[in-house]
A and B are shown apart, each in its own frame.
Chain A
Amino acid sequence: MKIAIASGKGGTGKTTVAVNLALSIPDAQLIDCDVEEPNCNLFLNKELEHIAESIITAPNIDEELCTHCGKCSEMCRFNAIATLPEKVLLFPTLCHSCGGCILACPENAISGKEKITGIINRSSNKKDHPMLYEGVLNIGESMASPVITELKRSIEPGIPTIIDSPPGTGCPVMTTLEDTDHCILVTEPTPFGLHDLKLAVKMVKIMNIPFGVIINRSEQENCIIDEYCNQENIEVLMRIPLNKRIAELYSDGIPFVEEMPEWKERFTNLFERIVNKKELA
């Protein structure tokens, strides 16, 4: 069972939900796919070991062989290569590692050079609960998706898996959500939260992933999020109240289920409900 926690808007509480949910499920593993800003371990303080790297193939140009014919720049649809009369310029942050330039070069002057763009870490203690896996995009690198793909390749199959997604609705989010069984969309009862929730709902519908909503910093029932969810027949799975204690614990990196055990039970129930629903379907 793989459950992804996503949101549209940033800062709504994805990591909070992911960490607290994972802590409330025996034998769960937690996967931090927000590789641009991985934060789960700030709440868990696990000792991590480096287990893999995300490696892409970047072009390497042999200036001796290059005739500056410009075929590589013509081939590159990402504008990552510009050919000047005497020189070829590479723009590494635009390169998607498609290998087109290597194929297009008539002089065989371009070869692939492996480049590490991020690393994958895992709890070094096999008895950790939850087992934590995280990906970290190197500073200055632009492509998050290859790191997420490598991270997802490293995880243990067959056990309950909670996946913390990056914010937004772009490629890194879709790479994260691919092949998951259920998605929890976390939002907050503000116009910004509602607007971005609608975008996230469109995305999970296109991807055909069953989903429900958690309203974080909830002040009252029947807020604008409830209105929308009622209209669209979307299940509100849980409400986390706007609560000073929860906010303080968050700011100090303490998962609130550890200090407020009644919440652990609520998260365990939430997980069981999602599992039962999947079995019925």
Chain B
Amino acid sequence: MKELVVISGKGGTGKTTITASFAAMAQNAVIADCDVDAPNLHLVLRPRIVETNPFYGMDKAEICLDRCIKCYRCQTACKFNAIDDDLIVNQHKCEGCGVCEYVCNSSAINMIKSRSGDVHSSITDHGTMVHAELEIGEEASGKLVSAVKERTRSIALENKAELIITDGPPGTGCPVLATITGADLALIVTEPSLSGMHDLERVLQVTEHFDIPSIVCINKYDINEKNAGKIEEFCNERGVEVVGKLPYDPSPNMAMREETTVVEYRKNVLSEGVKALWERVVSELDQKEVTLLPTR
């Protein structure tokens, strides 16, 4: 079994559009939406939820004021400034480390387990999909990403799936690192704008730092062909392969409105480009050694 992650650095470059199309073309794959902050894959793959598991983020501190002797050791020890002068815990600032509970002299602090989201396992027309919902204001995106990945891997093992296709979040921080951990191949989707180019460079540094083999797709390349050329040059110098160039096209938005993927919606230059991209990605994956690293 192998794992492909689709990431981008910059948001809005077309990760989900491409991932959804891959899902529609893949045989025997399990699909994961790891963009838990702003998940969109379910809007085009129309999953029917078959199982929901509660997701518990970090426990939250609660101070029992009846027992509290107002020594303020907790406030002093808290590195997140989450305890105010009235000894009320700010739930958004509390990261759930438990240091306040540890230092409390009067056993007045308890760490309370709280459900902060759900992990869904669903059936789609294109196979099983794992996706999540995070309660707004919960600060456990990275941990939820890991929960989605763990669930996806166990389903993939159970189903003897050959491939996991993962839609990743934008950025280079915690949720992205959790997403790419253990992946066999990262497809980075970029666009020929200065922002797209800058963010590609940063996210490539991240995949290199964590030793994840990476390939690049330039989406909407014809919006600025000069910049698209620069991206190709940059990737060449860096020894990173550009495996696809997709034209700007309004059909992703139209397909989205019909709740379907670009490759199912209509045969046009873009859908043919996405098909060719998929073939390239499959052949790249075939060249990779089979690995399955444990999740952490």
Partners in one complex: yes
A residues in contact (CB < 8 Å) with B = 8-12, 15, 35-37, 39, 42-43, 57, 75, 77-79, 91, 93, 96-100, 103-104, 137, 139-144, 166-174, 190-192, 195-196, 199, 202-203, 206-207, 247-248, 250-253
Given contacts A139-B202, A174-B137, contact A77 B38 (CB under 8 A): no
> Per-residue CB proximity of B238-260 to A under 8 Å, as 1/0?
00000000000000010011010
Chain A hits for B191, CB < 8 A: 251
Q: Which of B43, B58, B192 contacts A251 (CB 8 A)?
A: B192
Pairs A–B under 8 Å by Cβ, sample size 6: A12-B11, A43-B194, A103-B99, A139-B202, A168-B171, A199-B37
Chain B hits for A43, CB < 8 A: 194
CB distance from B269 to the nearest CB of A (A): 18
Other than the known A10-B38, A169-B37, what 11 A-B pairs have Cβ atoms closer than 8 Å? A9-B11, A35-B173, A36-B172, A39-B195, A42-B195, A78-B97, A137-B172, A168-B170, A170-B134, A170-B141, A248-B224
User: Is B38 a contact of A168 with CB atoms below 8 Å?
Assistant: yes
Closest 5 CB pairs of A and B: A10-B11, A11-B12, A168-B37, A98-B97, A36-B171
Q: Which of chain B's residues has its CB closest to A250's CB?
A: B193
Chain A hits for B177, CB < 8 A: 93, 140, 142
Query: Does B102 count as interface, using CB distance less than 8 angstroms?
Result: yes
Chain B hits for A195, CB < 8 A: 38, 40, 43
State which residues 57-81 of B face A: CB under 8 Å.
58-59, 77, 79-80
* Complex CA distance for A4 and B106, rounded to whole angstroms: 41
CB distance from B199 to the nearest CB of A (A): 5
Q: Which of chain B's residues has its CB closest to A143's CB?
A: B174
Q: Which of A12, A42, A104, A191 contacts B194 (CB 8 A)?
A: A42
Q: Which of chain B's residues has its CB closest to A96's CB?
A: B95
Q: Which of chain A's residues has its CB closest to B59's CB?
A: A77
CB distance from A143 to the nearest CB of B (A): 6
Given contacts A93-B177, A140-B210, contact A191 B38 (CB under 8 A): no
Question: Which of the listed residues B12, B79, B103 has the most CB atoms from chain A within 10 Å of its own CB?
Answer: B12
User: Is A174 a contact of B92 with CB atoms below 8 Å?
Assistant: yes
CB distance from B38 to the nearest CB of A (A): 4
Chain A hits for B99, CB < 8 A: 98-100, 103
User: Is B137 a contact of A203 with CB atoms below 8 Å?
Assistant: yes
Q: Which of chain A's residues has its CB closest to B92's CB?
A: A174
